[in-house]
């Protein structure tokens, strides 16, 4: 069994207000219909890969609530409610809390500070927490304490300036290999993981998502796909051009876990 053998996922239907999602810059937002199409393809793919996917209802008050990865962190045995660093996203935690309470025996909460789930990379050995404009030192410290209660080890790293989330710039290809944008190429940061630097010009491909035997990747990154396939892992490209307009990628649209019963 591998760290990617998830059995369950939750996602959230995009709200009409997704068109107002947060973004770096003043470019136009996505269209709701197009986001819905990308989201639909994503959900269908998770199901085809064998996951039981539950779709939570849209939350009009929270344009970015489709990105369920940010207000919580989940493992087989427990969930941790986080605290997103963007004020407009703070209320998403109270919305997802009851959903997690019905699905997990233990739901821990963050003490002080802010952490976005997009800044958290769970590797087979540890949980990396990238300090960013959304995740602060107090939040990282609180998260390390919560992880310790679950017998897991957290470690603080840095999300490079100008990169929204740590996982905007990296993603696991397999249990021992991480794909990274050049800006994150730092041996100490990734410990024992082998680093595969993305081809120049394809940095936006970094937010890959390994699910079971397949690495999901955004469409339009042929060299990265080839690099991953050459490494021996099957890839599947999904459309992400609309969610990319609000700085999102593949990992942000779901919370995934392997149920303890399986």
**Using CB under 6 A as the criterion, which residues of the chain lie in contact with ligand CIR when the complex forms?**
21-23, 64, 67, 69-70, 86, 89, 117-118, 165, 168, 246-249, 251-252
Nearer to ligand CIR, 173 or 250 (CB): 250
* Encoded tokens for 89: 């996203």
Q: Which of 8, 39, 170, 252 is catalytic?
A: 252
Nearer to ligand CIR, 69 or 174 (CB): 69
Q: Give CA torsion, residues 130, 118, 1, 184, to 10 deg.
A: -40
Asked about 252 being catalytic, the answer comes back as yes
Nearer to ligand CIR, 90 or 138 (CB): 90
Nearer to ligand CIR, 73 or 248 (CB): 248
Q: Which of 8, 39, 165, 170 is catalytic?
A: 165
What residues have CB less than 8 Å from 57, skipping those under 6 apart? 12, 13
Measured from each CB, the residue nearest to ligand CIR is 118
Rounded CA separation 120/71 (Å): 11
Burial class (CB in 10 A: 0-12, 13-18, 19+), 144: middle
Looking at 105-230, which runs of residues are DSSP E strands?
A: 106-109, 120-122, 127-131, 154-158, 170-174, 177-180, 194-197, 209-211, 214-218
The residues annotated with a catalytic role in the active site are 165, 252
């Amino acid at each position: 069994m591998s760290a990617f053998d998830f059995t369950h996922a939750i996602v959230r239907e995009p709200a009409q207000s997704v068109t107002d999602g947060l973004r770096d810059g003043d470019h136009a937002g996505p269209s709701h219909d197009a986001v819905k199409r990308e989201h639909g393809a994503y959900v269908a793919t998770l199901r085809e890969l064998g996951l039981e996917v539950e779709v939570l209802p849209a939350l009009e008050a929270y344009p970015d609530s489709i990105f369920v990865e940010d207000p919580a962190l989940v493992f087989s045995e427990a969930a941790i409610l986080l605290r997103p660093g963007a004020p407009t996203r703070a209320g998403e935690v109270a919305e997802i809390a009851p959903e997690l309470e019905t699905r997990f025996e233990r739901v821990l909460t963050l003490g002080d500070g802010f952490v976005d789930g997009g800044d958290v990379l769970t590797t087979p050995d540890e949980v990396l927490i990238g300090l960013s404009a959304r995740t602060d030192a107090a939040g990282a410290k609180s998260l390390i304490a919560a992880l310790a209660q679950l017998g897991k080890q957290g470690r603080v790293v840095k999300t490079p300036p100008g990169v929204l989330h740590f996982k905007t710039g990296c993603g696991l290809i397999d249990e021992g290999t991480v794909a990274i944008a050049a800006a994150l190429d730092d041996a100490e940061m990734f410990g024992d993981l082998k680093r595969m630097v993305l081809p120049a010009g394809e940095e936006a491909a970094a937010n890959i998502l390994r699910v079971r035997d397949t690495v999901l990747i955004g469409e339009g990154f042929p060299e990265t796909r080839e690099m991953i396939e050459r490494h021996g892992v099957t890839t599947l490209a999904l459309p992400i051009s609309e969610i990319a307009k609000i700085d999102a990628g593949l990992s942000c649209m779901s919370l995934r876990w392997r149920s303890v019963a399986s």
